[in-house]
Amino acid sequence: MPSIFILMGIKHCGKTTIGKILSTAMKIDFIDLDDEVEKQYSPDRNLSFRKIYQKLGREGFSHLETAALRKLYTEISKPFILSLGGGTVENSKAVAILKKSGFKIYLKEEELTLYKRILSNGLPPFLDSSDPGQQFHALYLKRDSMYTALADLTVKLEGRNPAAAAEAVRSAIKTV
């Protein structure tokens, strides 16, 4: 069985929630990459990863994300579950690290379900108000193909509640 399980998927697919449930069930640590970026950049925990992204921009954030990932891979020797940020798959240096080790699981959720979840807290800054649906659709298609190419396993969540989704992931892992 692999020692590093990497959960990846589009924003609001449930990576963190499912990861925490799996961590408890599998009795291994859970790590959220966005939290690691926060610790690295803002040790006093005053800045969220979103604020860090806004402050540094995509390139600066990607650099921190890659450094945090590299640190995890070199400093942790016991098994763990890692939840990636929704956009990590677009960070080529981070992807190069991910390709070397770890069992990558794409948590694939239906596009409309994700879109509704994202809009539930208002229109996020990464979507243009002129046509957010079309913009999200393009983002979904782009990232879906990237996750599919990187994944060792794809689990279709199909709107399941977090506990059922975690069990689907755990069952799929057992078959590997």
The mean predicted confidence, pLDDT, of the chain is: 92
pLDDT at 43 over 80: no
Residue 36 near residue 87, CB atoms below 8 Å: no
The secondary structure element, H or E, covering residue 105 is strand 103-108
Q: Around 56, how many Cα atoms within 13 Å sit in the side-chain half-sphere? A: 19
pTM: 0.92
**Per-residue pLDDT for 8 more than 80?**
yes
Q: Are the C-beta atoms of residues 107 and 22 closer than 8 Å to each other?
A: no
pLDDT at 71: 94
pLDDT of 75-126, one tens digit each? Answer: 988 999 999 998 999 999 999 999 998 999 999 999 999 999 999 988 877 7
Q: Residue 155, Cβ neighbours under 10 Å: how many?
A: 23
As a whole number of angstroms, the distance between CA 28 and CA 145 comes to 29
Domains and CATH numbers, the chain: 4-174 (3.40.50.300)
**Percent of the chain, pLDDT > 90?**
71
Q: For position 42, what pLDDT does the model report?
A: 76
Residue 44: pLDDT over 80 = no
- Summarised one tens digit per residue, pLDDT across range 121-170 is 888 777 888 899 999 999 999 999 999 999 999 999 999 999 999 999 99
